[in-house]
Amino acid sequence: MEIIILNFKNVGVFLILAFFVVVSVGCSGTPTSLENKSNHHTNTGFRNSPYVETASSKGVMFVLRRIWGSAFHPTIPEGHRIPENETIFQLEEFSENNTITWLGHSTFLLKVDGKTILTDPFLTNRASPVSFIGGITRYVPPGISIENLPVINAIIISHNHYDHLDRHTICALPNREHIDVFVPLGLRGAFIECGYKKVHELDWWKDKKLDGLNIVALPSVHDSGRSLTDKDDTLWSSWAIISGAKKYYFGGDTGYSPVFKKIGEKYDSFDLAILPIGAYEPRNLMWMSHVTPEEAVEIGMDINAVNLVGGHWGTIELSDEDHWEPPTRFISAGVRAGLSSNNIWVMKIGEVQNLP
């Protein structure tokens, strides 16, 4: 979310405040030194490579629609979210297994070889610099509340937009000094400010060991920024989590480009890929930073993923498509691409599944 607008229910106030932009109070990160910079790091910030223009402000009407959507939430289909106590029970029941749990939007719990990994933590009520007002409000509670999370061993961050890096969530997690954090270039300071001690800042194609796991920062096609003054100051990434022969991919948030074929060539295949399937309309505004469900499947094919999981949908309203359209298109595209329906996962919020 490049722009955060104050959120009130009075339509007159909506119009008056349409141009009011809330500037972030943290998590923007510290721009990385330009020494030994890679080809996707320019004198004015990071860029996509191969080149795709990074997103700019979406315009007044787009912002007004987001304000309206935050004030009037959709009707939630039955079964979209599992009760929290059932999720906690399932995690305990499968405690000896490698598992994946969807907590909503791009926040997943992955348990891999005894390590519990949290992706793009956003577990509060609103994606906003201020916890009690503004931003985009969630219309479905998280699968597990912050206070009921299991012990977290690692956090993986794709980029610094409010719906992927929620300062209120990361600063509320217990045992922060013992959690290994993996972030793209420029975001180390955001975690140090909250008391984290083990923060690993990685450029694309660089990796870091976490005991038996190898965590790899990979390219994505997106942008960054939490205010009007820090556009593209910090990097964005997708990620690989590798343990022996097991390989899992976290796509974060991305548009499409040929770079994913390079990932597939380098890593041969992935057992499972978490891919963003929501926030894609209107295409003339969203194409450069958000894939359609069909393009998400194309990324899965490019990286040779056996199983595809849909993320980045069903939690907050970020764009114009119908709230419940993404999974239908995702499944249809996967079947057309030759995947079995068993290999296309549309999870319920709070659902726990064994990793393949």
Residue type, 272: L
Q: Which of 351, 356, 319, 354 is nearest to 83 (CA)?
A: 351
Question: What tokens were used for 108?
Answer: 């997943």
**Calpha distance 346→297 (Å, rounded):** 13
Domain positions in the chain = 11-354
Let me know: does 316 contact 278? Beta carbons within 8 Å.
no
Question: What tokens were used for 103?
Answer: 């907590």
Question: Does residue 4 register a pLDDT over 50?
Answer: no
SS (H, E, C) 47-66: CCCCCCCCCCCCCHHHHHHH
Confidence label for 15 from pLDDT (cuts 50, 70 and 90): very low
Q: Which of 3, 9, 283, 313 is nearest to 162 (CA)?
A: 3
How high is the pLDDT of residue 59? 85
How high is the pLDDT of residue 234? 97
Q: Which of 19, 65, 141 is nearest to 318 (CA)?
A: 65
pLDDT by residue (tens digit) across 284-327? 999 999 999 999 999 999 999 999 999 999 999 999 999 999 99
Let me know: does 60 contact 316? Beta carbons within 8 Å.
no
Chain Cα centroid distance, residue 211: 24
pLDDT by residue (tens digit) across 243-253? 999 999 999 99
Please compute the mean of the pLDDT values over residues 270-285 and round it to a whole number. 97
**Calpha distance 208→216 (Å, rounded):** 7
Report the DSSP pairing between strands 180-184 and 305-311: unpaired
| Residue 329: its H or E element | helix 326-336
The highest-level CATH class for domain 11-354 is alpha beta
Please tell me which residue, 108 or 19, carries the higher pLDDT value.
108
How high is the pLDDT of residue 11? 39
Let me know: does 102 contact 349? Beta carbons within 8 Å.
yes
The residues, ordered by sequence, that sit 6+ positions from 120 with a Cβ below 8 Å of its Cβ are 105, 106, 107, 108, 156, 157, 158, 163, 164, 165, 252
